[in-house]
Structure 1
Amino acid sequence: MSSLSPHRNSDEPPPAEDRDYSLRAVDRVCAILNLLQESVDGITLNEVVEATGMPKSSAYRYLWTLEAHRYVERDEATGLCRLGLGFLGMQSRHLELLRERVRPWLEGVRDEFGETANLGLLDSDHIIYIDIIESRRGVRLAASRGDRDPLHSTALGKAITAHLPEARVRELLERSGMPARTERTIVTVEDYLAELDKVRAQGYAVDDGENEADGRCVAVPLLGTNLPAAISLSAPAARFPQRDVAGAAKALRRIAEQISTRPSGEVA
């Protein structure tokens, strides 16, 4: 007569030594994302293959799928992959903290100059407005929160892309195109790269009637936030002459420096 095993309720979990809840596909995705998170400059397809032991064709499909969902960005020129902006939705609290920290400063610079102040973020190949503190004047230059604008024609776009690798800037411009928004819009990659040299040298970016024919805007990057973000002041060009741009830029740079000296989770 054979012995019977002790009865175990089917709803009870198996003993710890018998448990294996892992899913191979999820394990592979986590391995790839861990590699991306640890990399500064990005990783290649071959590095994914070596680190995970996956066949090259499988690694390519995983990266392609992650890229399609914007969790991975791939540099067409170098083939390097890095974490994409799809994760920003998961960092909504981080963005909200940034908005809360920056808002009092933007209100201050709005009151100082009487013009609209903005907080913008790189989202794929465009700028998205995270916060806008509108001028109190009847006629003003202002977007709406959530609006998107091109990189190549805006001061916010220039301020952010000036601190990205050139290969990535070229890729973003190729993806978005460089349509002429006005007669003053920069429409060639080489001219835009030359403009970014100027931005880095002077520490701020200017949209001089390039996005709106009658508008002028100055922006500086928020380098201490670990996000591709910038702040700006925008106004009708008639009220914001070129002679006032440097002063506005100085005020914005003071804000950026104050924000950079605070821990990422600290609210002003």
Structure 2
Amino acid sequence: MTEDVTTTRAGGVQSVERAFELLQVLAARDRPMGVTDLAGVSGLSPGTIHRLLRTLVDLGYVRQDGNRTYALGHALIRLGERATSGLAAWSRPLLEEVMADLGESVNLAALENDQVVYLAHVPSFQSMRTFTEVGSRVPAHSTGVGKAMLAQLGERAARSLLDRTGMPPATGCTITDPDAMAAELSAVARRGYAVDEEEQEVGVRCVAVPVLGAVPPLAVSVSGPRARVTDDLVARAVAPLQAAAAAIAAEASA
């Protein structure tokens, strides 16, 4: 068997680049795709796509559905978990700086399998503080970090995700109407940050910003008792959160 090791002008292996291009195309869509669709988006020939998919399916990085469409496979979850655990450790000093600056708890979260999963948490030194368990999962629609990440997906992809998960109320403040959430996410995208107004937990307020360009989507947030997370603190929190998010984005893309 002859191994395809054609190199690109930049010195990379062409077949590897094409395989990752297919993975990125599948990751950008909210539904499985057939070979014809993949060829139309990627510009690769159907024959090349068939060969690459055969290998990716065998390795578990792509799954084939019964109707000859393809989606990301579960083997990617293990890679993502290892990557995000390393990122969480690397980002902790950045989160600690934000906590020291603002005096409230700071979180790093990712959007995985349609849910928010918390990767890192730096608790406030104050006696009355919020606490988030690393590894815990919550719905995206009821959290600041979730809304910050949903706003980066675009309305169609965000609505599709919320159709899959539903929008159950966590508190009386949770947004449960898809159209109201679409308007909220549009506002989040315009101003660059999201606010959780006691939507996940009564008495707790949160401000969150996205880590732009991160795959999977990431967000960082500051949360605390509503009495302390005032409008003034929300305004002050945006800049340090965005600085931390920019540093995390640079590391995540390195």
Bucket of the pairwise TM-score, normalised by the shorter protein: 0.7 to 0.9
Amino acid corresponding to residue 44 of structure 1 in structure 2: M
Asked whether 1:187 is paired with 2:173, we answer: no
SS at match of 1:175: helix
Label 1:38 to 1:218 Cα distance change in 2 as closer, same or farther (>3 A). closer
Which residue number corresponds to residue 240 of structure 1? 229
Q: Distance in 1 between matches of 2:64 and 2:199?
A: 28
Task: Tell whether the 8 Å contact from 2:25 to 2:38 is kept in structure 1 after alignment.
Answer: no
Q: Distance in 2 between matches of 1:105 and 1:130?
A: 14
Q: Distance in 1 between matches of 2:207 and 2:143?
A: 9
Between 111-120 and 222-231, report the one with greater CA deviation: 222-231
Task: Tell whether the 8 Å contact from 1:36 to 1:82 is kept in structure 2 after alignment.
Answer: no
Q: Distance in 2 between matches of 1:227 and 1:54?
A: 24
Gaps of 5+ in 1: 1-15, 18-29, 75-79
Instruction: Work out which of the residue numbers 83, 88, 111 in structure 2 matches 1:94.
Output: 83
Cα drift, residue 167 of structure 1: 2.2
Which residue number corresponds to residue 5 of structure 2? none
Amino acid corresponding to residue 196 of structure 2 in structure 1: D
Give the 5 Å matches for 1:151-170: 151-170=140-159
Amino acid corresponding to residue 188 of structure 1 in structure 2: D
Cα drift, residue 253 of structure 1: 0.7
Which residue number corresponds to residue 176 of structure 1? 165
Q: Which runs of 4+ in 1 moved over 6 A?
A: none
- Identity rate of aligned residues, in percent? 33
Which residue number corresponds to residue 118 of structure 1? 107
Gaps of 5+ in 2: 3-15, 40-45
Amino acid corresponding to residue 39 of structure 1 in structure 2: V
Asked whether 1:36 is paired with 2:22, we answer: yes
TM-score (norm 2): 0.75
Cα RMSD for the two superposed structures: 3.4
Deviation track 1:209-251 (CA, whole Å, cap 9, x = no partner) reads 1111100001111114333111101101011112211111121
Task: Tell whether the 8 Å contact from 1:220 to 1:256 is kept in structure 2 after alignment.
Answer: yes
Task: Tell whether the 8 Å contact from 2:62 to 2:70 is kept in structure 1 after alignment.
Answer: no
Q: Distance in 1 between matches of 2:47 and 2:184?
A: 41
Asked whether 1:214 is paired with 2:200, we answer: no
Label 1:138 to 1:176 Cα distance change in 2 as closer, same or farther (>3 A). same
The count of residues paired between Structure 1 and Structure 2 equals 222
